[in-house]
Structure 1
Amino acid sequence: MISQVILWWVVTGILGWLAWPVGFWLFQRLPGRGYAFNRILGLFVSSYLFWAGGSLHVIQNDAGGILLALLVLAGVSAWLVFRPGGYGREMSSWIHQHPRLILTSELLFACCFIGWSILRAFAVGKIMPVGGEKFMEIAFLNGILNSQAFPPLDPWLSGYAISYYYFGYIMMALLTRLTGALPAVAFDLYDALLFALGACGAFGLVYELVSSSDRHEKGALPAALTGAIFTVLLGNWQGFLEILYTRGWLPFSLAAWTGVPNFPGAAQVTGTFNPGSFWGWGWRASRVLSDSTLSGQSIDLNPITEFPAFSFLLGDNHPHVLALPYILLGAAIAFQVLWMALLREEPHLWRSMAFGWIAGGLLFLNTWDYPITIALILGAWLAGSTLSTGLLSNPTLRSTLRLGLTCLASGILFYLPFFSGFSSQAGGILPHLLPPTRLIQYLIMFGPFILVLSGFLPTSWAQECFRSGRRVALRRWLRWWSRLVIALLFLFLVLLALAALILWLDAVRGGNLTATLLPILEGRTPGEAAFLAFAYRLRRPGVFLLLTGLLSLAGVSLWEALEHGKEGATDDISRTYAQAPDPGLIFSRLLAIGGLVLTLVVEFFYLRDGFGVRMNTVFKFYFQAWLLMAAASAYGVWWFFRYGQQVWGGFPALILKAGMLTGILAGMAFPVAGIISRTEGFSAIPSLDAASELHRDHPEDWAAIDWLLTRRAEGATPPVLLEAPGKSYTYAGRISAFTGFPAVLGWSLHEMQWRGTYTEQSRREAGIAQVFSAPSSPAAREWLKTWQVEYIILGEAEHTYIHELCSRVEQPCNPVQVEEELAHLYQPVFHQGQTTILRLPSSLP
């Protein structure tokens, strides 16, 4: 397995160097020229070319198609370097000027990738047989590897293509083919790769911010490393609380007061610093919010509060993790846009389209991340243009609109093949009527960043006021704060009234939407529910006041910087770096505003989906907010340690620094304890095969998987399987998941989430039930012909399914007779233990 780690390190390095000229052109105004993003950009561009070529049927989904995509990338880069007036000499000069940045970036990637590969080798429970979504993720990878073209076949709904944002799995499949790794090995290594790419992306973003603020780049590398730690390694405070409780230093009453679900009820006091199994305390750290009904009763679907360190320890290669490096890449693009606006450089059409193309990749990676990235890009351009040409002048508004339309158009244009077959369960935006988040739970989640931002934002505002000769007027901030509070409360009241009206009209017309919200309304009228929702926000205002206060600080300081920046604006378009305002400080405030707004929005709204509450909305928005606040906080720590004493004096600055460091150290308790728990003290036999434990625990099924894989002809269409269907998070669908051969039906509820409807799944469930209860019936044969089934699986999951099916009163049958009948009707071609594979004739009578 060591050879695979080295091979992945080398291959990703080659991709990075192939794409560096593209990055050098893309980030032309940034001090670091986006060097730390090379591998991220290389994997993105090569995967896009591979996918686009396969979608247009120009290339095939094989090693030859990948090599052709790499040749195109190499050709574009060669043209950028060697064309007349190309970047050859400039790149050579830049390399000689930045050896420390290059060396640190490469060492950071190597240490993170190799280190996390070691952790993955020792991790236990890599792909769990039940729970988690790793079956789905390995199914997508194998489904893509088994598809002849794109869109790839859906391994859990035969005859259909994947209806999900699957670009991250295209990237994983590309590296799997390039390195020749087994899919289960690639699954483990890709988690390590994402950890390393996320660290490098955060490192690169913070480096560009600090280097732009400090022309001599002093402290840029340490600050950038801090950004990497904050983004992928730092945890929330729940890990620290778990350790305190386990050690016996946190009283039960105080732990219970936090209201974190299952804490401290499921925790134990052992007198040690070891909080126990990661699946206990570690899981609680990803579920720290507890929502309740309007009557105050706890609900089952509590918000998901994952953060990167938890996700990487869990090892889920899910879209929110797959997109992580590319959110940071989008933020770097936004910072490049800010620089261009400050220097009054209108983006060329090709460059604007490139910005939109890369940002649009998030639509295909994890659609939720796209709006905030576009908003960040346009906000950066608006801020920079305002500083250069005046506050919200007509040229500023026109150029912002032009950039926005170009980015949106190119983001859609370049991904049309994806949109043509994509459907979703998203059903609009609904008001969050349930009680708001408790302040203590919000601080447990984002405490390290809130402490840093609470020191950084007011201090940076005060310093700007001192330098410009203005007074630090608290009344000015309080005026901003009170206006924001009143505006948001008024807006929420209006929206509640509108929601009540919509629900009333809906009830008159039949009540479809009202039925969806019935568990939340609890028999109340829409008006009563709206009144209670507003009353709860007045009784529990902590999170609202905290976030609006910090947003007001960031907003007033940014607004005043823009107002005073316009006073110094000149008509000289060729402004130098030395003449420009501090872009790092401006952009860090934009990042902070973005992160804070994302966590405030979910207090009032959520995206309607199959869950009916804000569980998934909090999950997606909090994860994005973590990335933005981590970068802003890393910059804030550097800035405060450099300038804080000048503003507050020695002792107050020392107290604030101590508070920041204490909060950060409390957050570092999670990764330290998490690494030990996740690997059980590095006691297991190391293996980078993510399927090794399933192979050990279910040898008969794995023998069937191996048999199927060895009998598929190269280039042939994969056969259709019939195995026991499952709802979600079960052992069902394991054969199709680990072969990539399409099953008639796998996890049906996940298919509903991906497609927004349960019609086809319901129809197939009824047909599968007929096949596994009355296999000789004409209806069963007709179903098998319709689905073009080639193999029927009879294994552990099927035995259980048939027994449950036959136990139903409305469909009585004998499980033993059913299995004997299936074996009589169709040819057994594989048998080991309790697992049998039956082959159907090419044409059923």
Structure 2
Amino acid sequence: MKKWAPRVLLAAALAGLSAFLLKGDVWTFWTWWLLAFLMGMVAMPVTGRLFAGFEDKGWMFSKVLAITVTGFLTWFLVTAKILPFTAATCIGVSVVCAVGCGVLYHFQGKNGIDCFPSGKVNLIYGEEILFFIFFLMWTYFAGFRPQAYGTEKFMDYGFMEAMMRSTTLPARDLWYSEGTINYYYGGQYFAVFLTKLTGSKVELTYNLMRTFVAAFAFALPFSLVRQMSVDRLKGSLTGKKRCVPAVAGIIAGLSVSIAGNMHYVVYSKIIPWLQKLQGKEADSYWFPDATRYIGYNPDVPDKTIHEFPCYSFMLGDLHAHVVNVMFVLFLVGLLYAWMRSVRMREAVIMKPGRKEFWKKQLLIPHILLAAVMIGMFRFTNFWDFIIYFVVTGGVVLFTNIVQFDGKVKRILAVTGVQAVEIIVISYVVSLPFTLQFDSMFKGVGIAQNHSMIHQLLILWGLPVVLTVLLIICIIWEKLRGGANKSLYKLMKAISVPDLFAIVMGLCAIGLIVIPELVYVRDIYENGNARANTMFKLTYQAYMLFGMTMGYGIFRMLVAARKKVFKVVSVIGLVLLCWTFGYFGNSVYAWFGKVWEPSEYKGLNATSFLSNDFTEDVAGIKWLKKNVKGSPVVLEANGDSYSGYERVSAMTGLPTVLGWYVHEWLWRDDTADLNEKSADIESIYTSLDEEYVKELLEEYDVSYIFVGSKEREKYGEALNEDVLKSLGEVVFQDEVYSTYILKVNK
């Protein structure tokens, strides 16, 4: 049998399995996987240079780079009013970028530069198979609970539908027809960009985007930590130890993408076991409790949030912090590639003269790209803009300390200039967003509440202990080995992967400490002051910890000289793997019997309408099919997280006012919102025909939806005769009393 035959057979088996599991959805699934594969391959002339020291040349990172560059350029050109937001624009920008990569590849070939991972076919094949498996797994699970209904899914799905309808960005706010979306909508934008690029439908790609991100949440940490392990342990990788980098990468990928936290271990396993020993009935476990612990058990006023990727992928939200997972992981990999290249260049190349010095420091491709990405975070997930500016700053500082021989003035000068460079570039590239965005920032407050020590230990004890242990192990080894005790000499003696792991670990620890000290003030200040700050900061801490633990455990197991480090690493590995059980628990609790393919419902995110909004489903479908552009469709407004705004959410058509608390957060003008709420009630209930007509004209209402929620809210006060006198019934449900009026203008 040919050497490549097993690979072909495995690929064919996975293709057949995906067709069997996903049924009709498999075509869209294959389209997205193939698009990512082709875009990544085309971008390799760029990626291969940025990740030149990686054995795979950044193969997995290349997919995200291609999506980032083409998507961001499209967004920039659209928001700058240069091009319309259409499928043709998305395709055109992507083709131009591909041509640019082709030209670059041509010149690289002439200069003998190999940007592809030649000789590493098995590695590339293995990474691609792992990516496909995780993409397929999450997509299959999503088909058991595909509905874009519950939590904030109406908002996420509605943003996508609104942008699909719009040729400009930001799109018209579906819940505030007089304005555009005033929120960091970049996550949903990239989902729409890929939807338009592939000619897919939002009904399917809403779910496909979150499973796509979930696959990267495994693949990118795997690639990064595997390479870090190769770099650190290459002298020790003999015999059975050769598999250590791959295993470390797998553990890191699993830690970021499917692991829970120790709350699962304590409350799902240990406490029920102790209860059984005492003859008591064991408590049941509900997987969201791992994200709602501080403030909830015990019940105190200080309610907080500490979510992590697996919970997000399970729940099915397509919020900003979820989509941005793949972008922040790319940035972390990029920073390691830069730190590594600096150290390698230091060893083989003479330092530049004075005339070239500042030019080289200001034109570093990795730093320039990092600056652009940090700027992009302002509209994909604003919190990550701040977080990863600090993380990037930490990497830059540590790298400069080493490369400039501990010379304080030069270190501070270069680091300061590069920090300014990053800030300036990030602000410039995000201008099309910030110029149209009204900030919700109200300042920083001092935390009045603090988490209980045992709760912090349960949530963060394992990663903090392993991180601190790794740092102690690294420093102890260098000091014991005779390294100079000065900061520069010590850092110079530490290997690049060890130093990078220290940066990640310290940043993660800082992110969990900050909410105990301060919080960002917003409209939730009087109820859950720390909730949003803890949520956004610890979400990123979780991912940084996942990669730090994946690297640190195996680094200590193989290379640590003192037995205590190895023993504690084994214990840590056992506990970390135990948290992976959260995945199985939550899959069963949320998706049900996933081992029975016949229970697969499909990826259509709007399929719930037939059961949950039986009276309205036909009217919603009529609007999606027959109404083009973004005319205003009036529907009853209601509270956030409720079934209200089902029409605007499912069609992307703007209504006068939608979920109250969300618009309060985005607009911070309750007087305006209250006025609009009263006007909507008047339109639906007033018997003054002229007054109703004036309000319809004021809000430029084109259609009026009268269905289940309107009857539920206004009941007998509903002024149907008045409404029908002001428009024409263009849709009437044959079974239910739902109808749609087209307003006379």
TM range (shorter): 0.7 to 0.9
Give the distance between the partners of 2:396 and 2:162, measured in 1 at CA: 41
1:287 aligned to 2:202?
Answer: no
Q: Contact 2:60–2:223 (CA<8 Å) still a contact in 1?
A: yes
Aligned counterpart, 1:409: 424
1:823 to 716, 724, 727: 724
Offset from partner CA, 1:732-783 (integer Å, 9 cap, x none): 1111111111111111210121233334322211211211220534332211
Question: Which residue matches 2:246?
Answer: 221
Q: Does 1:172 align with 2:191?
A: yes
Q: Distance in 2 between matches of 1:165 and 1:251?
A: 48
TM-score (structure 1 length as normaliser): 0.78
Q: C-alpha deviations, 1:61-117, integer Å up to 9, x for none?
A: 22111111111211221222112676774124xx22322331222112101101111
Partner of 1:521: none
Are 1:358 and 2:379 matched, yes or no? no
Q: Which moved more, 1:585-594 or 1:329-338?
A: 329-338
Query: Which residues of structure 2 form unaligned runs of 5+?
Result: 1-24, 352-359
* 1:80 pairs with 2:104: yes
Q: Over residues 22-79 of structure 1, what are the superposed CA-to-partner deviations in whole Å (9 max), with x where a residue is unaligned?
A: 2223334555432221111111111112212222333222211111111121122122
Q: Distance in 1 between matches of 2:199 and 2:672?
A: 36
Counterpart among 118, 121, 124 of residue 96 in structure 1: 118
Q: Which amino acid aligns with 2:316?
A: G
Given that residues 556 and 566 in structure 2 are in contact (C-alpha distance below 8 angstroms), is that contact kept between their aligned partners in structure 1? no
Amino acid at match of 1:691: T
Aligned to 2:473: 459
Tell me what 1:163 maps to: 182
Q: Does 1:839 align with 2:741?
A: yes
Give the Cα separation in 1 of the matches to 2:685 and 2:538. Answer: 46
- C-alpha deviations, 1:175-232, integer Å up to 9, x for none? 2123333212111111110101121221222133223323467432221121111101
Letter of the structure 2 residue corresponding to residue 290 of structure 1: G
- Selected match of 2:259 from 218, 234, 237: 234
Q: Could you say which residue in structure 2 is the equivalent of 1:597?
A: 510
Give the aligned partner of residue 521 of structure 2.
Answer: 608
Q: Is the 8 A contact 2:729 2:742 kept in 1?
A: no
Corresponding residue for 1:617? Answer: 533
Q: Which amino acid aligns with 1:336?
A: A
**Which one-letter code corresponds to 1:183 in the other structure?**
V
Q: CA deviation at 1:20?
A: 2.2
CA RMSD of aligned residues (A): 2.6
Alignment pair present for 1:639 and 2:552? no
Which residue of the partner structure matches residue 6 of structure 2?
Answer: none
The answer to whether the 8 A contact 2:55-2:120 is kept is no
What are the superposed Cα offsets for residues 298-318 of structure 1, whole Å, 9 maximum, x if unpaired? 21x610111111111111111
1:426, distance to aligned residue in structure 2 (A): 2.0
Task: Give the conservation status (yes or no) of the 8 Å contact 2:406–2:488.
Answer: yes
Q: Distance in 2 between matches of 1:588 and 1:428?
A: 32
Match of 2:35 in 1: 11
Describe the SS at the equivalent of 1:828.
Answer: strand
> Where does the alignment leave 5 or more consecutive residues of structure 1 unmatched?
256-267, 471-558, 569-580, 804-813
Residue of structure 2 in register with 1:336 after alignment = 337
* CA distance, structure 1, for counterparts of residue 89 and residue 427 of structure 2: 24
Which residue pairs with 2:68 in the alignment?
44
Q: Report the CA distance between 1:424 and its aligned residue.
A: 2.8
| 1:779 matches 2:691 | yes
Aligned residues between the structures: 694
Q: Secondary structure at the match of 1:738?
A: helix
Q: Are 1:54 and 1:149, in contact at CA under 8 Å, matched by a contact in 2?
A: yes
Match of 2:590 among 654, 678, 682: 678
SS at 1:37 equivalent: helix
1:661-715: CA deviations, max 9, x gaps?
A: 33113312211111111211226343111221233332331211111122124xx
What secondary structure is seen at the aligned counterpart in 1 of 2:630? coil
Question: What displacement does 1:248 show?
Answer: 5.3
1:653 deviates by 4.9
Instruction: Give the letter aligned to residue 18 of structure 1.
Output: V
What secondary structure is seen at the aligned counterpart in 2 of 1:827? strand
Kindly indicate whether the alpha-carbon contact (under 8 Å) linking 1:245 and 1:251 is maintained by their aligned counterparts in 2. no
Q: Could you tell me which amino acid in structure 1 is paired with residue 133 of structure 2? A: C
Query: Contact 1:82 / 1:88 at 8 angstroms: preserved in 2?
Result: no
Indicate whether 1:690 and 2:605 are aligned.
yes
* Native 8 Å contact 1:333 1:377 kept in 2: no
Q: Which residue of 2 aligns with 1:199?
A: 218
1:441 counterpart = 2:455: yes
Amino acid at match of 1:282: F
Q: Deviations over 1:129-187 (max 9, x none)?
A: xx400000000000100101122111111131111111111211122123333212111
Q: How does 1:206-355 map to 2 (within 5 A)?
A: 206-215=225-234, 218=242, 219-244=244-269, 249-250=274-275, 269=282, 275=284, 281-290=286-295, 298-299=300-301, 302-342=303-343, 343=345, 346-349=360-363, 351=365, 352-355=367-370
Q: 1:582: how far off?
A: 0.8
Distance change (3 Å), C-alpha of 1:350 and 1:297: closer
Instruction: Determine what percentage of the aligned residue pairs are the same residue.
Output: 23
- Is residue 425–residue 753 contact of structure 1 (8 Å, CA) maintained in 2? yes
* 3-state secondary structure, aligned to 1:700: coil
- State which of 712, 718, 721 in structure 2 corresponds to 1:800: 712
Q: Which residue of 1 aligns with 2:625?
A: 710
Shift of 1:385: 1.8
Q: 1:456 offset after TM fit, Å?
A: 2.2
Query: Where do residues 375-394 of structure 1 align in structure 2 (5 Å cutoff)?
Result: 375-394=390-409
Question: Does the C-alpha gap of structure 1 residues 253 and 184 become closer, same or farther in structure 2, counting only changes over 3 Å?
Answer: farther
Query: Which one of the candidate residues 50, 53, 60 is aligned to 2:84?
Result: 60
Q: Secondary structure at the match of 2:268?
A: helix
The answer as to whether partners of 1:158 and 1:744 remain within 8 angstroms in 2 is yes
Which residue number corresponds to residue 744 of structure 1?
656
Q: Deviations over 1:799-833 (max 9, x none)?
A: 12213xxxxxxxxxx425x2343234432221224
Residue 739 of structure 1 aligns with an amino acid whose one-letter code is T
| Superimposed CA distance per residue, residues 208-264 of structure 1 (whole angstroms, 9 cap, x where no aligned partner) | 322332346743222112111110111112223443379554479999xxxxxxxxx
Q: 1:382 to 1:30 in 2, by over 3 A?
A: farther
* TM-score, with structure 2 as normaliser: 0.88
Measure the CA separation in 2 of the matches of 1:468 and 1:291: 50
